[in-house]
Every structure is written in structure tokens, then in C-alpha cells.
């Protein structure tokens, strides 16, 4: 993939920009025990998806109010669990490179605003544009979040690079018409070992016109 055509970078948060996998797993395990759901079944589908979507898949008999309550509780379990939340490997280098090149960037996450700001703060990251699950009517894999971020940055989706570590997010990026970069061995237009590799590729391509 030719990264010289990238006009903006749209980053997922959990597992991509912020290393919060342990905190996410702890919260879902507690939630699963309280709701009588197999925790391994939960963890197999929860990563990258909005909490309400995961709850609906696990507990299809719940009505809308019960789904909302269960999803809210799952998020509440995560708000104060920040002890081991840090920036992912290569994230500081990538953000420094984006600033130096003048490339706009945004965070698009399935977390709500409170959780996103808490985790980004714990990782020492100040996102210029943040799109959370509260800013869309449908979460990933729907493209709405990434389309909203592209709009806020005033960059056509086709010139945006979506960076994700979950299949559900990559599907959202493709549906938005963006280029995709995949972590953790997943398939995208670009496959990355870490964000530092993306920083090197963008730096080698040079400043954008």
C-alpha cells in the first residue's frame, strides 16, 4: 500500500492506541460471572464491539431497557480500572510523526466518552478529535464512527487510514471506504507489527502537499 496518499489517520483506541486489554478482560469476566455467561464466550466476541451489541449477542432474550442497563454496568466496571493502562508500543512515535508531518488524526472508539477520556488520559494521549459510541447511532462494524471522524477532520474517507486491532473495526473502516491498517496478525490493506512501523512508513513518505 502506498501511504503517501494518506491524508488522515483514524485510530481505534483499545488495543490499538491504548494497551487496555487486561482491563477490558477483567471487566468482561466480572460482568460474565454476574450475568451467568461463559466468560470465554464473552471474550471471543467482545473485543472492539460496542457493549450493547455484545450484550445482545450473548443475551438475546433481554429487552432494550435490560440490554442498556447491562451494557451500562459493563462500562461502569471499567471506569476506575486504569492501573495498567498505557500507550501501546510505538504509539508515542506515531503521534510525534503525525504532528511533524501535519497529518490530522482522530480516535474512533466503541467506548463511551467518560471511559475513552479516562483511558487516553492514563496513557498520556490528548486526541484532537474523539468519536465515541455516544456520537453515533450504530457502532462498529457500521462505518458511522469512521465517517464522522473523516467529516470532522474534513478529509475524504478514501484518503483516511483506519488503524485497528479487531476484525469488527476493520470491517467498519472498509465500509467507510477508507484504507485499513491491521494489527495483531489481522488482514488489512497494510499489516503492522506495531504503531512504530506505521510511523516509519509515514515518515519515509514525507510531508503531504
Same domain membership, residue 138 and residue 176: yes
The predicted model scores a pTM of: 0.88
Which residue range is the domain that position 191 belongs to?
A: 3-20+85-205
Same domain membership, residue 184 and residue 123: yes
pLDDT of residue 80: 86
**Rounded (5°) CA angle 22-37-187:** 50
pLDDT of residue 96: 98
Same domain membership, residue 186 and residue 159: yes
Specify the CATH number for the domain of residue 165: 3.40.50.1000
Same domain membership, residue 146 and residue 107: yes
Is residue 130 helix, strand or coil? strand
Same domain membership, residue 140 and residue 116: yes
Q: Three-state SS string across 147-206, please? A: HHHHHHHCCCHHHEEEEECCHHHHHHHHHCCCEEEECCCCCCCEECCCHHHHHHHHHHHC
Q: What is the mean pLDDT of residues 139-143?
A: 96
Mean pLDDT score across all residues of the chain: 95
Q: What is the mean pLDDT of residues 31-59?
A: 93
Q: What's the pLDDT tens digit per position in 168-177?
A: 999 999 999 9
- Among 56, 76, 96, residue at a domain's last position: 76
**Domains contained in the chain, number:** 2
Catalytic residues: 12, 14
Same domain membership, residue 29 and residue 10: no
Same domain membership, residue 153 and residue 56: no
pLDDT of residue 209: 66
Amino acid at each position: 500500500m502506498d501511504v503517501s496518499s494518506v491524508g488522515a489517520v483514524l485510530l481505534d483506541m483499545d488495543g490499538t492506541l491504548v494497551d487496555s486489554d487486561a482491563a477490558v478482560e477483567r471487566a468482561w469476566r466480572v460482568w460474565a460471572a454476574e450475568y451467568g455467561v461463559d466468560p470465554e464466550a464473552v471474550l471471543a466476541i467482545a473485543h472492539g464491539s460496542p457493549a450493547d451489541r455484545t450484550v445482545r449477542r450473548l443475551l438475546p432474550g433481554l429487552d432494550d431497557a435490560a440490554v442498556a442497563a447491562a451494557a451500562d454496568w459493563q462500562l461502569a466496571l471499567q471506569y476506575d480500572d486504569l492501573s495498567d493502562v498505557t500507550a501501546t508500543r510505538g504509539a508515542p512515535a506515531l503521534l510525534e510523526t503525525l504532528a511533524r508531518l501535519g497529518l490530522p488524526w482522530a480516535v474512533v472508539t466503541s467506548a463511551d466518552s467518560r471511559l475513552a477520556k479516562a483511558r487516553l488520559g492514563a496513557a498520556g494521549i490528548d486526541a484532537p478529535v474523539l468519536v465515541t459510541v455516544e456520537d453515533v447511532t450504530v457502532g462498529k462494524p457500521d462505518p458511522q464512527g469512521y465517517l464522522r471522524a473523516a467529516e470532522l477532520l474534513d478529509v475524504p474517507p478514501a484518503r483516511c487510514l483506519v488503524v485497528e486491532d479487531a476484525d469488527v473495526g476493520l470491517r467498519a473502516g472498509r465500509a467507510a471506504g477508507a484504507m485499513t491498517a491491521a494489527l495483531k496478525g489481522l488482514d488489512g490493506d497494510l499489516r503492522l507489527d506495531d504503531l512504530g512501523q506505521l510511523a516509519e512508513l509515514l515518515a519515509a513518505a514525507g510531508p503531504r502537499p
